[in-house]
């Protein structure tokens, strides 16, 4: 499962596969071309899903431990929780999302090629 954050719709860059995103993502897609791309994917192979409560609890706990909790939006937490639950790959340019994904061993890719690096 490939979980798409906003950047995937804005850039239209992501690997092929089975796609999911979260209910609130539609509100973050602002330009006409990206909205059309979202609607086209929704009509073909994009699922709108929400993670279970247990996944949210794990993500929120981890976000507090990494210090990212205060910078995450509701949609960001939804994306991470869904990626965690599905054991999927998250497509995001958001460094806070990437940081938590790294801490929870969730695979992630960037739309722009910019990824957070693990400190040794």
Written as one string, the DSSP assignment of 17-60 is S-EEE-GGGGGG--SHHHHHHHHHHHHHTEEE----HHHHHHHH
Read off the pLDDT of residues 16-54 as tens digits, 9 standing for 90 and up.
999 999 999 999 999 999 999 999 999 999 999 999 999
Q: All domains of the chain, ordered by start, with CATH?
A: 2-109 (3.40.50.1010)
Read off the pLDDT of residues 64-96 as tens digits, 9 standing for 90 and up.
999 999 999 999 999 999 999 999 999 999 999
Predicted TM-score of the model (pTM):
0.95
- The answer to whether the beta carbons of residues 43 and 52 sit under 8 Å apart is no
- Going by pLDDT thresholds of 50, 70 and 90, the confidence category of residue 120 is very low
């Amino acid at each position: 499962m490939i979980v798409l954050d906003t950047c995937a719709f804005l850039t239209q860059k992501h690997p092929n596969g089975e796609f999911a995103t979260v209910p609130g993502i539609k509100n973050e897609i602002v330009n006409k071309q990206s909205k059309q791309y979202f609607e086209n994917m929704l009509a073909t192979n994009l699922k709108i899903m929400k993670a279970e409560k247990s996944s949210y609890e794990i993500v929120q706990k981890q976000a507090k431990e990494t210090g990212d909790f205060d910078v995450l939006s509701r949609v960001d937490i939804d994306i991470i929780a869904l990626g965690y639950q599905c054991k999927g790959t998250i497509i995001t340019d958001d460094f806070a999302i990437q940081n938590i994904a790294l801490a929870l061993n969730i695979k992630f890719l960037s739309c722009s090629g910019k990824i957070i690096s693990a400190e040794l």
